[in-house]
Amino acid sequence: MPKSKNLIFSLIALSLAGLLIAFMLLRDSSVVLSPYEFHKKLLEAKPQSIVLKDNELSFSTYNETYKVARDAINLSELDPHIAVVVAQKSGSFLDEIGLFVIIFIGVAVLIKAVSLLFMPPKPQPKGLDINAQNLSGTIARKEQSPMIPLEQGFEPHFQSAITFRDVAGITQVKEELFEIIDYLKNTKKYQDLGIRLPKGVLLVGPPGVGKTMIAKAVAGEAGVPFFYQSGSSFVQIYVGMGAKRVRELFMRAKAKSPSIIFIDEIDAVGKARGGTRNDEREATLNQLLTEMDGFEDSSGVIVIGATNKIDVLDEALLRSGRFDRRIYVDLPDLSEREKIFGVYLRDKKYDFNVNEVARLCVGFSGAAIASLVNEAALSALRRQSDVIQKEDILNTKDKVLLGKKKMLSFSEEEKRILATYQSAKALSAYWLDVDFDKISLISESFKDIDKELVSKTEMSNKIKIHLAGSIAVEMLYNQVFSNAKEDIAKAKQIALQMCEDYGMGKKLIADSSDVAEILEQCRKEMQDFLANAKPLLERLSHRLLEQERLHKDEIKAIIDEKYFS
C-alpha cells in the first residue's frame, strides 16, 4: 500500500511538473518593444512577414519574438516588401488557469514533501539526477537571463547616417548645440565642475528648415540613444493614455541615459492650458511638465522640442528649468543656401554656378532646396542626361515653390495684354533696382528682397511694381482688366504694413487716409515713368510676346540697345 501511494504521488507530481513545463513553454515570452525600437528591429532583422494578432504586431527571428501595440504603428509606413499576416484571435485559456495551476502544483509538492517524511528516501538513478539537473538549469537560465536593450552593441541606423556634416547652413545653431553634444559625450567632466545638463532645447522655426534633422544630427554626433515622438501621438481620447505614454517614454530614456528625447510638433500637446477645456490634453501636458522638472530626477535625459508656433505654448513649458534654451532656426540666407546646395549636390553631376542659382532661390527652405535638386535631376533624366544644368533648375524652381499650375490657353488679344502687363512690371523692377531673375508671359518671378532692414523707398518701389502692370494696360488699351487683382491686393498690403507696423505714414498712428495717400503717390509716379518710357515698353512687350520668357540680362540688353544704339 505505501508503495502504491508513493507511486500515485510520484505520478501526480510528474504530471503536474509536465503541466508546469508546458505552461512555461506555451506562455507568451515575446519581447515588447516601443514603436521606435520595433522599426529599428525591422530594419535589422528584415523579416519576410509580420503577424497582426489580438491588436498586436509581431515578428520572429531565429531566437526571439518581438511585438508592439497595433495602434502605435502606421502600417502604411512599413516596408511594402514585408507581408502583413492577420491571425485569428487566440483564447485566453492558459491565462485564466495559470494561477490555478501554480497553486495546485504548490499543494502537490507540499503533499509530496509530507509523504516523504514518513518513508525512507529511495535512491534515484544517477542518470535521472543528471537529467533533472540539466532540466532545472535550463529553466533557471531562461528565467534569469536579462533582456538585452535594443541599442546595446550597435548604433541605430540614423545615428550613423546623419551628423552635422549632413546639415548645412546653420552655423549659429551648431554653436549652441556643440556644448550639449560635448556634455553627452563627456558627462563626468561637467559633473565634476557642478555643471548640470540643460533640461530641454526648443527649436523654433518655419516648416522645412531642418529642425528634425538637427535633432537627429545631435544624437548622431553624441552617439546616444534617440527617442522620437510626435506631439500628436500623446493626444488620446482615452483618459490617462497620454500621460501614460509620456511616463513610459521618459522611463525608457532614463534607463538608457544619457539619451535624447525628440518631440516633434510639441505644440500639439503643449498648448496653453485654459480656454477650450480638454482634461486629457491638460493631464498629458502636466505629466510632461512633471517629467521635465519635477521631484523625480531626469539627469542624463535631454528633451529637444520642435515647433513653428511658440506663441501657443504654455508658459510653464517655456520657463527656465524645462526648456532652458530656445534656438531660432530661420530660412537660410545666400551663403547658407550655397552650403545646402553643396550638401545635396555632393553625389550628383552638375554644370552651373551654385552661387548664381542660390541667388535665384530667395525664400527657399532646406527642404525646398532638397526637393529642387531632386526635381532638377529628374528634369535632366527626362533630357536623357546625367548632368544637371541651370535650365533644369529654372524649369523646376517655380513648381517646387508654388506647385504645378495648369497651363491656360489665351487668345492673341489676351497675350498682347499680358505681354504689356508683365513688361511694365519687369521694366519698372529693372529701373527701380528691385531684384528678379526672369519675367514670363503667364507668371512673374519677383521675390522678396533678402534683407533684414528695408527702407521706405524700397517698400514704395515694390508698390510701384505691383501697380505698373495695370497702369500700363490702362494707358495703352484704355481699359483695366481682372488680371491685376493679386498685384493690387499685394500693393495694399505693403502700404498697410508701412503705415501700421513701421510708422512710415504722415501720422504715427495711421488711418486709412495714410494708406490711400501712399498708394496714390506711387500710382502717380508710376504713371509719369511709364508715359515717358512708352516706346521702350512697347519694344519689350513685343519681344516678350515672341519669346514668352525673358531673363534679366535679356531685358538689360533690350534697354541698352534702345538707349545706346
Give me the residue spans of the domains in the chain.
2-144, 157-328, 334-402, 412-564
**Per-residue confidence (pLDDT) for residue 127, from 0 to 100:** 41
**Per-residue confidence (pLDDT) for residue 153, from 0 to 100:** 33
Where is average pLDDT lowest: 205-219, 263-277, 491-505? 263-277
**Per-residue confidence (pLDDT) for residue 279, from 0 to 100:** 66
**Per-residue confidence (pLDDT) for residue 297, from 0 to 100:** 59
Put the strands of the sheet holding 444-446 in their side by side order: 444-446, 436-440, 549-551
Residue 295, pLDDT > 70, answer: no
**Per-residue confidence (pLDDT) for residue 246, from 0 to 100:** 83
Residue 250, pLDDT > 50, answer: yes
**Lookup: cell for 177:** 548645440
**Per-residue confidence (pLDDT) for residue 409, from 0 to 100:** 56
Q: Is the pTM of this model over 0.85?
A: no
Q: Taking all residues of the chain, what is their mean pLDDT, rounded to a whole number?
A: 75
User: DSSP letters of 207-270?
Assistant: TTS-HHHHHHHHHHHHT--EEEEEGGGG--SSTTHHHHHHHHHHHHHHHT-SEEEEEETTHHHH
Specify the CATH number of the domain 2-144: 3.30.720.210
* CA distance to 442, 448, 479, 549, per residue, from 555 (Å): 17, 20, 26, 10
SS percent in the chain: helix, strand, coil, step 5: 60, 10, 30
**Per-residue confidence (pLDDT) for residue 137, from 0 to 100:** 39
What is the CATH class of 334-402?
mainly alpha
Helix (H) or strand (E) holding 283: helix 279-293
Fold match between 2-144 and 412-564? no
Ranges of H-type helices in 345-455: 354-359, 366-382, 390-402, 412-431
**Lookup: cell for 357:** 542659382
* Percent of all residues in the chain with a pLDDT value above 90, rounded to a whole number: 13
> Which residues neighbour 542 within 8 Å (Cβ) at sequence distance 6 or greater?
419
Neighbour count for residue 341 (Cβ, 10 Å): 26
Q: Which amino acid is at 247?
A: R
Compute CA 315 distance to the chain's CA centroid, rounded to the nearest angstrom. Answer: 24
- Give the CB-side neighbour count of residue 294, counting CA atoms within 13 A: 11
Nearest partner of 210 among 370, 366, 363, 338, judged by Cα: 366
Name the β-bridge partners of 446: 436
Helix (H) or strand (E) holding 139: helix 126-144
CATH topology classification for 412-564:
Methane Monooxygenase Hydroxylase; Chain G, domain 1 (1.20.58)
The CA distance from 212 to 194, in Å, is: 30
Residue 31, pLDDT > 80, answer: no
Query: How sure is the predictor about 525, in pLDDT bands with cuts at 50, 70 and 90?
Result: very high
Name the β-bridge partners of 86: 52
CATH superfamily for domain 157-328: P-loop containing nucleotide triphosphate hydrolases (3.40.50.300)
